[in-house]
Amino acid sequence: MQSATAKRTIAGTPVFDGDAAKKGYAINAMCFSFNEKENREAFLADEEAYCAKFKLTPEQREAVKARNVLAMIAAGGNVYYLAKLAGIFGLNVQDLGAQQTGMSVADFKQMLLDQAKGI
């Protein structure tokens, strides 16, 4: 029987739905904690212990260790929360975009600028 709720996929575009929210709860909870400065400092002081405190899954822990955004998203991370983790690493959204698209940061920024031609 075909599921009435067959999921729609959009190429290259994560849809953060209930399954992702459930799967990613731990990593997103950790990232949410980074709203507080002392938590950011605690993460930097002992990343392993801080990740353990939030009970990251092995997949999430590996993704964080590797600073791999696509892997974090595959493990349920949501970019609104992951942006707080990225800030700890000194990465902005162009750095994240470059990493996810496999471009250099310079090429990614040029790609953004080039879209002005479409106006």
Partner 1 sequence: MAKVIGGIFTSHVPAIGGAIAKGLQEDPYWKPFFDGFKPIHEWLKHNKPDYVVTFSNDHGLNFFLDKMPTFAVGAAETYNNADEGWGLPLFKPVPGTPDLSWHIIETLVAEEFDITTCQEMLIDHALSIPLELAWPNRDSYDFKLVPVGINTVQHPLPSPKRALALGRAVHKAIESFDKDAKVLIFGTGGLSHQLDGERAGFMNPDYDKFCMDNLPGNPDALTKHSALDVVELSGSQGIEILNWIAARGAMGDGVTEASRNYHIPISNTAAATVLMTTEYALVAA
Q: Which residues bind partner 1 (CB under 8 A)?
A: 8, 10-18, 21, 25, 28-29, 31-32, 34-37, 40, 69-70, 73, 78-84, 87-88, 92-94, 96-97, 100-101, 108, 111-113, 115-116, 118-119
Query: 4 or 37: whose CB is closer to partner 1?
Result: 37
CB of 84 to partner 1, least distance (A): 3
User: Nearest distance from residue 113's CB to partner 1, in Å?
Assistant: 6
Contact 32, 81 (CB under 8 A): yes
Residue 13 CA to its chain's centroid (Å):
13
Burial 18-30 (b: 16+ CB within 10 A, else e): eebeebbebbbeb
Q: How is residue 7 annotated by DSSP?
A: P
Residue among 29 and 49 whose Cβ is closer to partner 1: 29
